[in-house]
Amino acid sequence: MPSDIVQELVNKTLRELAQSPKPIERSRISTTPNGYVFLVAWSNASLLRVLIRKYTDDLPKSEYRLKAQLDDAGRSTVANIEEGFARQTTSEYINFLGYSRASLVEVKGDVQRSYQDGFLKSRPGSSLKDMGIELDKWHEALKKSVISNPTGFKGNYRNLKESRERKTAIRQIPLNSFKFLYNPVDNLKAEDLTYEMFIELINKTDWNIRKLVESLEKKIKV
């Protein structure tokens, strides 16, 4: 092998050895394990999940598939924001926000079909404010309910507890509803909800997620 080729290979090896190791991406390092609670996107998605549960609990039993799909999509919208926040890299975080938006699109489709099928009423011009819900105040109440870790609900799945009777049968006993300490949401009734309110919240949540993605993409480009 010619000496100049050998020397070039040696030089290449030396250059590679001299390179600093690739820095670990630290854009996802957080001192707060549940820092997602400060995100407006998460707050709005959480409210959407609550409204969905209020709505689907009032659906006819024959619509069990619609209920299951809407409940799952609403939960997924929130959960993917939370899981993405815990990921180690910004690119992974962005991917999970994409999953969240996909679930949000599914929610929107089911809400539209609910309206078309006559399960969800329409009242043109209605909005969340008609029920006294202000998103910034809701966010503050939600943060407190999560950060303070309220007691009394640990181990209770979907607001039900089980008691064994005669060591064989399991009876589910309704518990008092969880309180966010925000009256417009705590006292909300399914019949108060409208198609316009859902679309308003879905669109705002989508906008918040897209803005969050844009800010994260800027970090990657820097």
Q: How do the pLDDT tens digits run along the chain, 222 residues long?
A: 556 666 676 676 666 666 655 444 455 666 677 899 999 999 999 999 999 999 999 999 999 999 999 999 999 999 999 999 999 899 999 999 999 999 999 999 999 999 999 999 999 999 999 999 999 999 999 998 887 654 444 333 344 443 444 444 444 444 346 889 999 999 999 999 999 999 999 999 999 999 999 999 988 875
What is the number of residues in the chain?
222
Task: Please state, in angstroms and rounded to a whole number, the distance separating the CA atoms of residues 22 and 88.
Answer: 15
Beta bridge mates, 169:
165
Task: Please state, in angstroms and rounded to a whole number, the distance separating the CA atoms of residues 49 and 72.
Answer: 9
Kindly tell me the burial class for residue 136, based on how many C-beta atoms sit within 10 Å of its own C-beta (0-12, 13-18, 19 or more). Answer: exposed
Instruction: Give the pLDDT of residue 49.
Output: 97
Task: Please state, in angstroms and rounded to a whole number, the distance separating the CA atoms of residues 149 and 75.
Answer: 19
Q: Find the farthest-apart pair of alpha carbons in the chain and give their distance in angstroms, rounded.
A: 89
Instruction: Give the pLDDT of residue 6.
Output: 61
Kindly tell me the burial class for residue 36, based on how many C-beta atoms sit within 10 Å of its own C-beta (0-12, 13-18, 19 or more). Answer: buried
Instruction: Give the pLDDT of residue 173.
Output: 40
Radius of gyration of the chain measured on its C-alpha atoms: 24
* Cα three-residue angle 178-36-146, rounded to 5 degrees: 25
Instruction: Give the pLDDT of residue 147.
Output: 73
* Cα three-residue angle 205-211-217, rounded to 5 degrees: 135
Instruction: Give the pLDDT of residue 167.
Output: 42
Tell me which residue of 43, 26, 29 sits closest to 85, measured CA to CA: 29
